[in-house]
Amino acid sequence: MSTTPVNTPTIVLVGHGMVGQRFLEALAEQGTTATSRVVVLCEEPRPAYDRVKLTSYFDGKTPDDLSMVEDGFMERHGIELYVDDPAVSVDRAARQVTSRSGRTFTYDALVLATGSYPFVPPVPGKDAHGCFVYRTIEDLLAIEEFAKTSRTGAVVGGGLLGLEAAGALKGLGLETHIVEFAPRLMPVQVDEGGGAALLRTIEDMGLVVHTGTGTQEVVTADGSVTAMRLSDGTELATDMVVFSAGVRPRDQLARDCGLDVGERGGIAVDELCRTSDPAVYAIGECALAADGRVYGLVAPGYEMAQTAAAAIAEQEAKEFTGADLSTKLKLLGVDVASFGDAHGAAEGSLDVVYSDSRSGIYKKLVVDAQGVLLGGVLVGDADAYGMLRPLTGTVPPVAPEQLVLPAGAGAPVALGPSALPDDAVICSCHNVTKHAITQCTSLPEVKKCTKAGTGCGSCVKLIGQLLPAPADSGLCACFSYTRSELYEIIRTLRLTSFAELLDSHGREAARGGDGCEICKPTVASILASLQSGYILDGEQAALQDTNDHFLANMQRNGSYSVVPRIPGGEVTPEKLIVIGEVARDFGLYTKITGGQRIDLFGARVDQLPAIWTRLVDAGFESGHAYGKSLRTVKSCVGQTWCRYGVQDSVKMAIQLELRYRGLRSPHKLKSAVSGCARECAEAQSKDFGVIATASGWNLYVGGNGGATPRHADLLAQDLSDAELVRLIDRFLMFYIRTADRLERTSVWLERLEGGLEHLRDVVVHNSLGLCDELEAMMAAHVDAYEDEWAATLDDPDRLRRFVSFVNAPDTPDPSVRFVPERDQIKPDLTPLTLSPSAPALEGTLAR
């Protein structure tokens, strides 16, 4: 309860969503909470949470993770919060609000932040068992529970929330349909070209999209959903329907107490967010702004909240006369952004378009005849959004066609943050300009002082580029340390868990959390390289990405590849026969790779244990194609067979591969051994490569044959077998110890201060006195090595993860399908349509 004296003004806030919480923060910032009694009536059973990131609940976030209320905020500012107790009536004459529980509050100022409600088309069957809306955490909990016994879901609406809902159903293991009445997805944000690019990408993910048609009826049997009939005559067999066809302002409370509302809904307000009653304000999605629009985005709601808070405190308030509707989102993993006049509505506007249908990328800029940037649409690649949106209304310093071309094909001089004027709005959520951001020196300072970057987050990258020094050299938002610094912390303090590291060395805001997609696999790799333990035991399992989680590489259709290790490329006929029999019996696609291995493609996750049982029994072990670790040590046949060979390259390749197998590192490692200077194994394009000489071995390091090829550098020459192994031990452990996350040895060596000479000083001449320690760490790895698949097969608890559906372990994933090609198989990526008689598919997808 508030400790404010009873004769002070009382402010009652009805609704506690994102906008309502921003209003409370504005009151606190201007000191109003210290001089007023503030009461909040919240309809939901929990305080304000981030509705923009609602779908992240299905990615492992908890309701508490989504909370927008800082611990102790209400108590610190004396705010009275009543959850699960909405306002039910307003007596404007008596200036009183009554809640559902019967509480009555007299107000001096009343703020309505009641938000919006989902629009459900008035079709027959809309209230049947199995019909849901997608708006609150409670909605998500209900959807999650119902999905456990469902096989197919249909989402009505192909807008922002509709696509998020579809992604959630797909992630829950349901065959998913999207029904959109407009001729394209996201019709408000993107144009026809952008919608086509988005459609192709989403269909490639296995979702079935129906555009240009509406829902005519939800078909039921015994009160439960069985199908959905569309206006074009199509009938979709489904047992779950999620309505996400737009929202409507929640203005009933205002209507009941006689406040003015718009013809099509919304509580009418003026430029200071006052309703027709000067003592009552309305903000957010329930308000019809003075420009005649109801704004459904969070940024305009925040502006309204600040305006209303200032007006109530009788401070100078920035009038709300309209808002920027620009938005940048990631829907189903696809970047989508639009800004300004995205549809070219202005007379005489011109389009500049770049489209790459193969990659699912579409970019369009709208300009006028003088070259002024009016707006744009970005699908598939929205990295330029942060720069382009603030330039709206200006003539960019480079030609517009150069702004849409892919990297390397655009302007000869990159368009950087310096091109933005000081008054350019960088954070539209909190209306923060470039000038305000450049007064700060770090990203945390920017967030604390301006709140920029704390809303949707789309401006964070540009903020970092605007700061006078790099915004943050830390690994991610959870850690202010680099990967190499975290390695030293874990090694020195002998930490054994991610939670322990996060709580002791994470940023303050991250402590007690669960990390992010950047730091979790990075720390998992560090822990594995230092402990050499089974990577899926205990907490480690939750840190891994999909590939490590199932000890296999996921392919584009949801199947997995099986890659047994074949050291040095040497394999017996008996083992070749086993590989062939496994491929035949499980119907796998078989390919010999450039790394002298045989890859088997097309395995379902539930088949992996059976496949590996046969391979392990035949003497094979994991080839670690799924991990950031040693892949292969390629070799030629060497002096054993080749008339030019001067050393036994096969023997050395096998020795090295068996020594370094399973070694977790910042990035994948590739190696090769050539038996002579003719270099048939291409050793000089590898992370570490060995070439035989008449006197021993030459060691090359830092090569890369990938997208950015780099010739390896000669580190040492004419080495004996023992000298060669010792230097490779030191080189690899020094790399693992000092490299950044996902940094190949080629990039690391070029970044390393002093380059090759420094590396030679450290690992050859022991200039830092580290060599004994580096060798000991490698020896510990070699001694502790255990094949991950053999360890998995020996443990029934570990095997339980290898199912397509958690709640239906014997049910294969129906979306993993193949078609024949060249006497083998290839993924079938055509949309899957289940007939009404198809067997029920229960459970939640394991991946």
Report the distance separating Cα 841 and Cα 240, nearest Å. Answer: 13
Report the distance separating Cα 367 and Cα 376, nearest Å. Answer: 9
Query: Annotated binding site for siroheme, which residues?
Result: 680
Contacting residues for 389 by C-beta, under 8 A, at least 6 apart = 324, 326, 339, 340, 425, 428
Q: Residue 6's CB: how many other CB atoms inside 10 A?
A: 7
**Maximum Cα–Cα distance for the chain, whole Å?**
104
Q: DSSP H helical segments within 534-635, as ranges?
A: 540-543, 546-550, 573-585, 608-617
Query: Annotated binding site for [4Fe-4S] cluster, which residues?
Result: 636, 642, 676, 680
Pair of tokens at residue 385 = 């959004």
The DSSP 8-state label assigned to residue 638 in this structure reads: G
Query: Annotated binding site, which residues?
Result: 636, 642, 676, 680
Report the distance separating Cα 748 and Cα 753, nearest Å. Answer: 10
Q: Residue 784's CB: how many other CB atoms inside 10 A?
A: 11
Report the distance separating Cα 400 and Cα 353, nearest Å. Answer: 9
How would you classify the pairing of strands 104-106 and 96-99? antiparallel
Contacting residues for 433 by C-beta, under 8 A, at least 6 apart = 422, 423, 424, 425, 426
Nearest to 453 by CA among 419, 433, 430, 422: 430
CB 336 within 8 A of CB 379: yes
SS3 688: strand
Report the distance separating Cα 541 and Cα 532, nearest Å. Answer: 14
**Type and span of the H or E element at 464:** helix 460-466
Rg (CA), the chain: 31
DSSP string covering 774-840: HHHHHHHHHHH---HHHHHHT-HHHHTT--SBTT-TT---TT--EEEETTEEEE--SPP---TTSPP
Report the distance separating Cα 824 and Cα 248, nearest Å. Answer: 53
CB 351 within 8 A of CB 306: no
Amino acid in the structure at residue 686: K
CA-to-CA separations, 632 to 48, 300, 547, 655, 670, in angstroms, rounded: 51, 54, 18, 12, 6
Report the distance separating Cα 318 and Cα 321, nearest Å. Answer: 9
Contacting residues for 309 by C-beta, under 8 A, at least 6 apart = 23, 26, 27, 30, 32
CB 363 within 8 A of CB 376: yes
At residue 187's C-alpha, the angle toward residues 329 and 377, to 5°, is: 55
CB 14 within 8 A of CB 86: yes
CB 274 within 8 A of CB 311: yes
| Beta-strand runs (E) in 472-604 | 553-554, 560-562, 589-592, 598-603
Angle, in degrees to the nearest 10, between helices 483-493 and 721-738 = 100
Q: Is 602 left (phi over 0), alpha (psi -120 to 50) or beta?
A: left
Amino acid in the structure at residue 642: C
Query: How far is residue 393 CA from its own chain's centroid?
Result: 31
CB 84 within 8 A of CB 52: no
**Burial classification of residue 643, based on how many CB atoms lie within 10 Å of its CB (0-12 exposed, 13-18 middle, 19 or more buried):** exposed
Report the distance separating Cα 210 and Cα 216, nearest Å. Answer: 13
